[in-house]
């Protein structure tokens, strides 16, 4: 984003694509000039304030898309590879589904490095709380 010559309609195409595909995560990287590259000598630099506005807009859209994506899976059963005990709450374990949704599940057992089947129940910050099946 912010590549020299990027027009508003180019940016809008990016926005439209993100809204269409509803990704779980969007990596937003503004263009930064690198000496010695062909792009470094291009004209039509984008105003840094416009780049900042576009970043903020994409961040808002990406958060909404992440929420919409996760909502599709609520009350569904998924396999989760548990990676570690939660740093925030030691009663929970954290892992990921095959479609990279971060999941927290409560258990008194050591679940590290195990696949467990869960029912996804509640979106909580950037993960979904789940119940073991």
pLDDT at residue 125, as a whole number: 83
Q: Nearest-CA neighbor of 1 among 50, 38, 41?
A: 50
Is 2 inside a domain boundary? no
Same domain, 121 and 87: yes
- State which of 71, 87, 115 marks the end of a domain: 71
Same domain, 82 and 126: yes
3-state secondary structure of 45: coil
Q: pLDDT for 70-124, tens place per residue?
A: 999 999 999 999 999 999 899 999 999 999 999 999 999 999 999 999 999 999 9
pTM of the model: 0.86
Mean pLDDT of the chain: 96
Higher pLDDT pick, 125 / 35: 35
Buried b (16+ CB within 10 A) or exposed e, 74-91: eeeebebebeebeeeeee
Q: Is residue 89 part of a domain?
A: yes
Residue 1 lies in a domain: no
Position 52 pLDDT exceeds 90: yes
Q: CA end-to-end span of the chain, whole Å?
A: 43
Domain that holds residue 38: 8-71
């Amino acid at each position: 984003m912010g590549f020299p010559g990027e027009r508003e309609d180019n940016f809008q195409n990016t926005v439209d694509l993100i809204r269409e595909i509803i990704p779980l995560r969007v990596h937003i990287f503004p263009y930064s000039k690198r000496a010695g590259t062909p792009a470094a000598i291009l004209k039509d630099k984008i105003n840094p304030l416009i780049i900042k506005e576009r970043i903020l807009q994409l961040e808002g859209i990406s958060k909404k898309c992440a929420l919409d994506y996760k909502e599709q899976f609520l009350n569904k059963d998924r396999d989760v590879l548990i990676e570690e005990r939660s740093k925030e709450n030691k009663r929970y374990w954290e892992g990921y589904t095959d479609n990279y949704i971060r999941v927290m599940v409560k258990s008194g057992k050591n679940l590290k490095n195990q696949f467990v089947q869960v029912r996804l129940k509640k979106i909580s910050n950037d993960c979904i709380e789940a119940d073991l099946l």
